[in-house]
Structure 1
Amino acid sequence: MSVSLTDEQNERGGDVTTTGWTAETAAGEYADVNGIELYYERRGTGSPIVLLHGGLGSGEMFGPILPALIERHEVILVDLQGHGRTADVDRPLDVRTMADDVAALIDHLGLDRPDAVGYSLGGGVAWQLGFRHPEKIGRMVTASANIRRSAIYPDMLAQQGQVSAAAAEFMKDTPMYELYQRVAPRPEDFPRLLDKIGAAMAVDFDFTEEVRSIKVPTLVVAADCDMAPPSHYVEVFGLLGGGERDGGWMGEGRPGGGHRLAILPGLTHYNVFSSPLFAAVTLDFLS
């Protein structure tokens, strides 16, 4: 999970863009799964993708790239616990529990091994789907999702430490706040969401061994100026067997599990999710 309260994010919209859909055009449903009323929307036709948003966002944040995705796939956009149109429940925010929610949604919808694509918080949830429910998904894309808390730049960790209900007043002019007020079932819960996200980001984590043993073909994506250095994502690719030898003329030296790495140029943590480059590498991998 990656959320911080920087001046740059407040000016540029942080993890969220509200360009695209509005509350009037959204046409989703709720699934009663795993103890939560999970909101989702289905768009397009073709092999299914479960698309998972970043912290303080919702499925709407993928509006700029959605047209490219639905040209070739059915996209299931999920609003994760306490985000967007999914009301919070009485449990901590935890990527493992949220992955269980998504796995239960896959069963609820009768999907046959859809691909999972997640960014930031959603990328962490995608990783957990691969760890905990590998039999339920086909391929996986994790964008800007760190596997160790210590990989995040120290100044960003310090800023994440400021995320709490006390910051709600300072966020009232941000797209994250506007989105929540517009679509959340209980708009007054925004400070509660900040408290829960702050608590979640304070917990140390290291999923090195889980990544090393993953069986789901995975594309690791990051911006070249992300919340962790590019070397972290290269390390993750190495845990998947990448970068150990020359790839070979016929690709015979590539990782055996079908894994790939994409470091996208000219992007940051705060705009990679809406970039045509992200859509392009995702579609290429899923094809």
Structure 2
Amino acid sequence: MTDSTAAGSGQYAEVNGINLYYETHGSGHPMILLHGGLGSGEMFGPILPTLADHHQVITADLQGHGRTADIDRPLDIRLMGDDIAALIDHLGLRKPDVVGYSLGGGVALQVAIKHPEKVGRLVTASAHVSRDAIYPEILQQQGQVSAAAAEFMKDTPMYELYQRVAPRPEDFPKLLDKIGEAMAKDFDFSEEVRGLRMPTLVVAADADMAPPSHYVKVFELLDGGLRDGGWQGEARPKGGHALAILPGLTHYDIFLSPLFAAVTLAFLDQKS
């Protein structure tokens, strides 16, 4: 790595065919924390101290993001889920909690679906489980993401971050092409969600990329929102699942919010 400013305080793990960058903060029961698209673990900076006061927090830069260089394969949340599962093994972690936002929420979900024995508790924030849940105007915007958009993004925080930390800053247009291709593919993981057995918290902003009703439907797949919970909580969802719609937030600021940190910690620290 030639640019000294690109060197973070973390380490690299050769796992699943990718050289994955990660950082470790704090102590306690481990939490894997996964960032959104065109971001990196750095994006959690404002809430990281709060989370690290309670847990050992491991942030990982996903394929082609942050300090993790891209490799010759599509950007697919299922493959990135395998990367994180391999990182869990590499670090010798026993059932860490896995928390993800947006793209990272989709990856966290795939870790839980494909490698359930490796996950303690799961938190997915602002992560829709089917493509058709997204507002039509957002799908239209996503259809315009490609290398051709790189020039127009030069004043954005995402571009600044990538230029500052990426091992190959010149790869930014390629990353946009890959993200555009990934977002164009249809998907629906509803049935896989229905099969989740680890306690799962579904989080969204009240003005997110998909309507609140979508996240309520995800909660229903997990046996939630179907009946009164009972005086002692005895009729709450059988798997210990929960739902949080956070007020006054959007898809683009929820990951910075103390509310997100608070509900995440409250859920992860339940003893049941």
Instruction: Work out whether the TM-score is over 0.5.
Output: yes
User: What is the deviation of 1:283?
Assistant: 0.2
Distance 2:212 2:154 in 1: 32
Q: Which residue of 1 aligns with 2:186?
A: 204
2:30 counterpart of 1:61: no
Distance 1:113 1:23 in 2: 34
1:42-191 correspondence to structure 2 within 5 Å:
42-191=24-173
1:228-239 correspondence to structure 2 within 5 Å:
228-239=210-221
Distance 2:126 2:111 in 1: 16
Which string of whole-angstrom CA distances, capped at 9 and with x for unpartnered residues, describes residues 162-191 of structure 1? 000000000000000000000000000000
Distance 1:72 1:127 in 2: 23
TM-score by length of 2: 0.96
User: What is the deviation of 1:253?
Assistant: 1.1
Amino acid across the alignment from 1:90: D
User: What is the deviation of 1:26?
Assistant: 3.2
Counterparts in 2 of 1:251 and 1:25: CA distance versus 1, 3 Å: farther
- RMSD (CA atoms): 1.1
User: What is the deviation of 1:260?
Assistant: 0.2
Structure 2: gaps spanning 5 or more residues: none
Which string of whole-angstrom CA distances, capped at 9 and with x for unpartnered residues, describes residues 25-68 of structure 1? 93110000000000000111100000000000000000000010
Distance 1:187 1:83 in 2: 10
Which string of whole-angstrom CA distances, capped at 9 and with x for unpartnered residues, describes residues 49-103 of structure 1? 0000000000000000001000010000000000000000000000000000000
Distance 1:273 1:155 in 2: 22
Distance 1:275 1:186 in 2: 31
Counterparts in 2 of 1:151 and 1:257: CA distance versus 1, 3 Å: same
Amino acid across the alignment from 1:84: G
Amino acid across the alignment from 1:280: A
User: What is the deviation of 1:282?
Assistant: 0.1
Q: Which residue of 2 aligns with 1:16?
A: none
Q: Is the 8 A contact 2:6 2:67 kept in 1?
A: no
Distance 2:243 2:71 in 1: 35
Amino acid across the alignment from 1:96: R
TM-score by length of 1: 0.91
Give runs of ≥4 in structure 1 deviating > 3 Å.
22-26
Tell me, what secondary structure is at the counterpart of 1:116?
strand
1:276 to 255, 258, 263: 258
Give the share of equivalent positions with the same residue, in percent.
Answer: 75
Amino acid across the alignment from 2:180: G
2:227 counterpart of 1:245: yes
Amino acid across the alignment from 2:78: R
Distance 2:243 2:69 in 1: 34
Distance 1:218 1:105 in 2: 21
Q: Which residue of 2 aligns with 1:213?
A: 195
Distance 1:72 1:217 in 2: 19
Q: Is the 8 A contact 2:6 2:166 kept in 1?
A: no
